[in-house]
Amino acid sequence: GAVVSQHPSWVICKSGTSVKIECRSLDFQATTMFWYRQFPKQSLMLMATSNEGSKATYEQGVEKDKFLINHASLTLSTLTVTSAHPEDSSFYICSGLGSLNTGELFFGEGSRLTVL
Amino acid sequence: AQSVTQLDSQVPVFEEAPVELRCNYSSSVSVYLFWYVQYPNQGLQLLLKYLSGSTLVKGINGFEAEFNKSQTSFHLRKPSVHISDTAEYFCAVSDDSSASKIIFGSGTRLSIRP
């Protein structure tokens, strides 16, 4: 299957700083990527849909100024958590849509953010 | 609106025993159905998917699932589990007209006892 890589896998930062997480599709072009947030022992919550060359579409209740998403190329989307606070600590996962015909998603390994 | 229900939050089984993880969905249109596995601190890996055709779908690691339209179910099964199958399993559904709106179930934690 197709490969999606996330970086960093772990990040610890101080409250008030910004953190950038990268999501790359290594062997396919992902015109659409998705960002999820996962709390401990819970399912994935879709945060936003990222489309190459256009603004991201955010789900209800997700602050777009807090979670900045950029999808500048067909293989890279970034999520920047701005002015991070402890409540932003979570596991963030991205996925790339491999094919509109199959609806199959390919997931990154996830990035665990801890804000002190 | 679509939704997915995973009836069991945790399923403990002994090694080499069979297991079934239950999943029910609701949708007013045709659906794509998926099972994903998540190992600790990792992303999700696709186990298997149902798009159309045969209702019995075989996936990786010896897992299979059966699509039952009348019961709106897509239960995951494995005849003999291994310690390495210990993980979180997510059932998911998406609308075939918009693959972006995939909805995940709440997950089932499968724990294998030796």
State pLDDT tens for residues A37-86: 998 878 889 999 988 888 899 999 999 999 999 988 889 999 999 999 99
| Per-position pLDDT tens, chain B of length 114 | 778 999 999 999 999 999 999 999 987 677 889 999 998 878 888 899 988 889 999 999 999 999 999 999 999 999 999 999 999 999 998 876 555 678 899 999 999 998
Categorize the per-residue pLDDT at A99 as very low, low, confident or very high, splitting at 50, 70 and 90.
low
CB B5 within 8 A of CB B105: yes
Tell me the sheet residues that pair with A23: A6, A77
- pLDDT, residue B65, reads 97
- pLDDT, residue A106, reads 86
- pLDDT, residue A94, reads 94
CB proximity list for A104: less than 8 A, separation 6 or greater: A97, A98, B34, B46, B49, B99
Categorize the per-residue pLDDT at A102 as very low, low, confident or very high, splitting at 50, 70 and 90.
low
Among B21, B102, B33, B7, residue whose Cα is nearest residue A93: B102
Per CB distance under 8 Å, which residues of A are interface residues toward B?
Answer: 1, 4, 6, 9, 32, 34, 41-44, 46, 49, 91, 93, 95, 97, 100, 102-110, 112
| Residue owning tokens 């979570």 | A90
Cβ distance of B94 and A103 shorter than 8 Å: yes
- pLDDT, residue A62, reads 95
CB B87 within 8 A of CB B37: yes
- What's the mean pLDDT when you consider all of chain A? 89
- pLDDT, residue B14, reads 96
- pLDDT, residue B2, reads 77
Question: Is it the case that residue A100 has pLDDT exceeding 60?
Answer: no
Among B4, B41, B27, residue whose Cα is nearest residue A41: B41
Per CB distance under 8 Å, which residues of B are interface residues toward A?
Answer: 32, 34, 36, 41-46, 49, 51, 90, 94, 96, 99-100, 102, 104-107, 109
- pLDDT, residue B56, reads 96
- pLDDT, residue A68, reads 96
pLDDT tens profile A4-25: 999 999 999 999 999 999 999 9
Determine the residue type at B112.
Answer: I
Distance CA B50, CA B30 (A): 11
Among B74, B89, B95, residue whose Cα is nearest residue B32: B95
- Three-state secondary structure call for residue B47: strand
Mutation choice for A interface testing from B46, B100, B103 by most A CBs within 10 A: B100
Hey, what are A63's tokens?
């602050």
Distance CA B99, CA A104 (A): 8
Cβ distance of A102 and B99 shorter than 8 Å: yes
CB B32 within 8 A of CB A103: yes
Tell me the sheet residues that pair with B13: B112
